[in-house]
Chain A
Amino acid sequence: QKEVEQDPGPLSVPEGAIVSLNCTYSNSAFQYFMWYRQYSRKGPELLMYTYSSGNKEDGRFTAQVDKSSKYISLFIRDSQPSDSATYLCAMRPGGNEKLTFGTGTRLTIIP
């Protein structure tokens, strides 16, 4: 079993829909949680960063962390075709720089 599990998709939704992306993890030492967006043939870019449990909002994006359930989510509101990409969750224990990634969810927003 992988340390971080993520539904690989693919996921296709119409433009304007709310998208929910999720990861579960098994290592209770993880404290820092990130979401990366990766466009085709590009490197991952940091989208959201959350420390410990709670919610964080940035524009159309909301990241949620529930450490008790070992579950993190990324919500995208008013989805746009430009949001079409692979979304990777990543996490690491405190004080350790090694990131452990999920397998990524491929998202397509249909105009």
Chain B
Amino acid sequence: DTAVSQTPKYLVTQMGNDKSIKCEQNLGHDTMYWYKQDSKKFLKIMFSYNNKELIINETVPNRFSPKSPDKAHLNLHINSLELGDSAVYFCASSQVVVRTGGPHYGYTFGSGTRLTVV
């Protein structure tokens, strides 16, 4: 059973196209995220949704638009794709786990969508 699943795994597309990536989690988590990992493996948050409400929106071009139809799904639509958008996009979800020493937001990542813009 895949906890956080993303589709597609690979996406090759031409500059200027519009594309979507879908994410679903079956963990019952309240919060979902999109992260971008560049060629140097640097992971940077893009968006975060909690119960369908946008709570984090980092400095991301407005060509990127997330949508959360329900708390188990978070999709990412990208308009007018550019060469610099080529990266691996990870979806993640989290839930608070109460532990000794403070709450911990247990993150689970999907396997990633490798986007190549040509």
Where the two chains meet, the residues of A that have a C-beta atom closer than 8 Å to any C-beta of B are: 8, 31-32, 34, 38, 41-46, 49, 51-52, 86, 88, 90, 92, 94, 97-99, 101, 103-104, 106
Residues of chain B contacted by A52 (CB below 8 angstroms): 101-102
Q: What are 12 A-B contacts with C-beta separation under 8 Å?
A: A42-B111, A43-B90, A43-B110, A43-B112, A46-B106, A51-B102, A97-B56, A98-B56, A99-B107, A103-B40, A103-B41, A106-B41
Contact of B45 with A45 in the complex, beta carbons under 8 Å: no
Chain B 79-103 interface 0/1 with A at a Cβ cutoff of 8 Å (1 = within): 0000000000010101000010110
Q: Which of A8, A42, A97 contacts B48 (CB 8 A)?
A: A97
Contact of A32 with B110 in the complex, beta carbons under 8 Å: no
Closest to B105 in A: A97
- Is B25 positioned at the interface, with any CB of A under 8 Å from its CB? no
Contact of A101 with B43 in the complex, beta carbons under 8 Å: yes
Main secondary structure of the interface of B (DSSP, over half): strand
A97, B95: Cα distance in complex, Å:
10
A106, B99: Cα distance in complex, Å:
30
Q: Which of A43, A49, A94, A104 contacts B111 (CB 8 A)?
A: A43
A107, B89: Cα distance in complex, Å:
22
A43, B36: Cα distance in complex, Å:
11
Closest to B96 in A: A97
Contact of A51 with B101 in the complex, beta carbons under 8 Å: yes
Closest to B41 in A: A104
- Is B115 positioned at the interface, with any CB of A under 8 Å from its CB? no
